[in-house]
Amino acid sequence: MKILLLTDIHGHYDAISDFMGCAPDIVIIAGDITDCGDPQEAKEVFRQIDVPCFAIPGNCDVPEILDVIEYSDAVNLHGTSLEIGQVTFTGVGGSNPTPFNTPFELSEEELGELLEKAKKRGRPNVHNVLVTHAPPYGTLDDVGGTHVGCKYFRDNLRDFDLVCCGHIHDHTGVVEIEDTIIVNPGPAFEGKYAIITLGDEPKEIEVELFTL
C-alpha cells in the first residue's frame, strides 16, 4: 500500500494535483486543510483526489469542516477507526491548546477521550496507523526548546506502528520511539509531503520525505 501523507495545506490548494502525480493508493490529510478560513474551501482539495482519502481537521480548521469532510468523497477519520485490508487507521484531529487561540483546540483530556473512543472502533491489524494533527509529546514537537505535543498520544504509542502528524512546521522528519515510527512530512503549502509504503508483514514500513 502506497500512502501519500499531506498536512498543513493552509489553503494552498493549487498543488494538490501535483501531489497526486505520485500515484498513491491512499491519501492521508493530517489537518490544517484551511487557514482559519471558510471550511467550504476544503471541497477543492477533495475534488482533486481520486483515490480513497482519510482526513482529520487541524487546529487552524474550524469545527464545521467536519461536516464538509463527511459530505465529500473523503472519509472523516476524526474520533474513529477504519480498516482497509491489513491496515487499521485511527484518527484524532485538532490540537492541544496553543498560545494562539486557534479554532480547533481541545484539552488533553478531550484528546485522550477521543483517542480511546476511536481505538474501541478498530482492532489490532498487521499495520496500525494513528493519524493526528498534533504530534505525540516529545516527538517532532520542539518549539523554541519547549515540547508542545500531546501527552495522551505519547502514552498510547505502544498501540500503533506508525503515527502520521503535522502541526509543527519547523520540526519535521521521521523518528522512531518505542518501536513506533512518527512522521511529520512538513507543510504541504511549502510543497512538502511523504510517501509511506506498507508491506505485507508487521513493521514493514518505508517512509520517504519529498518536496515538490
| For residue 165, pLDDT beyond 90 | yes
Structural domain for 80, as ranges: 2-211
pLDDT in tens, 63-79: 999 999 999 999 999 99
Section 46-75 average pLDDT? 97
How much is the pLDDT for 158? 96
CA atoms of 176 and 178, how far apart (whole Å): 7
How much is the pLDDT for 108? 97
Give the count of domains, the chain: 1
Is the pTM higher than 0.95? The answer reads yes
Domain with residue 187: its CATH number is: 3.60.21.10
pLDDT class for 104, splitting at 50, 70, 90? Answer: very high
How much is the pLDDT for 178? 86
Give the pairing type, strands 2-6 and 192-198: antiparallel
